[in-house]
Amino acid sequence: MPRIAKLKPVKTEGGNWRFRIPTAHSNTGKRRRIFFPSEAKTEVEVRRIKSHINKLGSKRTRFMASESSDARTAINRLNSHHLSGEHELTLNAAASFYLDHLEKAEASKTFSEVFRISLRQRKNLYEEKNRKKWTTSHAGEWKAIILGPLPHAKASKEDRVAEQGFLHIFGGKLIDEITSEDVRAWMKKYHNTSDSAWNGAYRQVSPAFNNAQSRRLISTNPLSDPDRPIVKRSTKGTRDILAIKEFLFTNKAVQENRFSSIRAGVAIRLFAGLSPTEVKGNRDKRPLDWDSVTLEPKGVYRDPQIKVSGEQAKESSQRVVSVGPNLVQWLKSVPEDERGGPICWGKKNSSLLKKFSSEAKLKGWHDVLGHTYATYQYQYHANLHRTMKEMGHTSVKTFKDHYENPDFEADAPKKLSQSVPEGATVPEVVQFSNAS
């Protein structure tokens, strides 16, 4: 016969009543204290526990009155379901599901929290690998996409179009609740203007989801959803380049007097392939100046050239760029007494460049002048490594993907190399050696 439990009600200093359930009779395996507001309710519960132990023994689970009521309510709800599929509708399954839900909720992070951690890791990795700080262009891209774009170059951070930023829409949302369709809809709405824009958005959003997946904060990465994955778009052979009519129109426009202060900068980009930041600089890079340009070589200098220092180069590696006969004439069209200091720098010239870009119908084309030069230079001289060196490229695959098989007019490369200012003589172009 089961041993009779001795459960004695005791009044506490606060006026309530309690009794202790020893370890031997506790359904949890641990000693418990149970409190009640009155002696009568305490006595009722003591009798219920003693009766249960006397009938079934202490090893059988016994619920408190409130627990029994909750269990009956839960069972009634499970039995009265209207679900069409087959499910395990037991208290154990329900409790397991609910606990999993709570554990996941406690571990969940918002997109904003995950993004900040991911951004810090990316920044540290870049600086460790390259031994230099993250550039302004890196920071500018993630801020434009995640925080929202600036309406114009002179706008302050308070002027950002925040409603277009990923953080504004999804920052406060738990990252495991963001779906593939959510991300796709945002990218289509704000970053579908070109393959480059789409890839830029992908490049800034994906690291946060990859970080969350590696930390098991999400079960499925919305960018790699097996049903409808979001992928980067191929830009192979899709670089925008100017046709003959378009680069002749550009050349004519830049010769107008109102654009005289930016003429040399535009010519260097179109006929030497320097990037916009290599010419005009930014917060991290100083602008190209006339001291870096040699038009009339003497001594050790055999050919006209432009020296791009490591502080200016897009890959932080200095290089020497050949100045072709037509570019020599473009640069000499600038009066000699004006060939000093930065070639194209300052707020006034930045405004002029934007105005010129609009009037020459170049707006919206990312570095189209440099891409035009690289494409035609490579096709005309058929010297892969020489052209890559001139451009500052290091990846053969990337270079070929962009410039090897473009769709252009057959005589465009030669016409570009012979394009000169009005009144100048068309130069004789000497081809590079075909050795690669």
What is the C-alpha to C-alpha distance for residues 216 and 211, in angstroms, rounded to an integer?
Answer: 9
pLDDT for the residue numbered 7: 77
Does position 335 have pLDDT exceeding 80, yes or no? yes
Looking at per-residue confidence, does 188 or 404 come out higher? 188
Q: How confident is the model at residue 1 (pLDDT cuts 50, 70, 90)?
A: very low
For residue 407, count CB atoms less than 10 angstroms from its CB and return exposed for 0-12, middle for 13-18, buried for 19 or more: exposed
What is the C-alpha to C-alpha distance for residues 128 and 43, in angstroms, rounded to an integer?
Answer: 71
Residue type, 434: N
Say what percent of the chain tops pLDDT 70: 88
Strand order through the sheet with 32-36: 10-11, 17-21, 32-36
Angle (deg, nearest 10), helices 263-272 and 325-332: 170
Strand order through the sheet with 305-308: 293-294, 305-308, 319-322
Per-residue pLDDT tens over the stretch 248-304: 999 999 999 999 999 999 999 999 999 988 998 887 788 999 999 999 888 777 889
Q: Mean pLDDT, the chain, as a whole number?
A: 84
Joined tokens for residue 376:
């035609």
Give the position of tokens 């950002």.
160
Does position 209 have pLDDT exceeding 90, yes or no? yes
Query: Are 401 and 371 in contact, with CB atoms under 8 Å apart?
Result: no
Question: Which domains are assigned to the chain?
Answer: 1-71 (no CATH), 111-224 (no CATH), 244-417 (1.10.443.10)
Does position 434 have pLDDT exceeding 60, yes or no? no
Q: What is the mean pLDDT of residues 190-217?
A: 91
Q: Would you tell me how many other CB atoms lie within 10 Å of the CB of residue 280?
A: 22
- 134: which residues sit within 8 A by CB, 6+ positions away? 123, 126, 127
pLDDT for the residue numbered 235: 64
pLDDT for the residue numbered 63: 61
Nearest to residue 277, comparing CAs of 166, 392, 118?
392
Q: What is the mean pLDDT of residues 26-38?
A: 79
DSSP state of 131: S
Q: How confident is the model at residue 147 (pLDDT cuts 50, 70, 90)?
A: very high
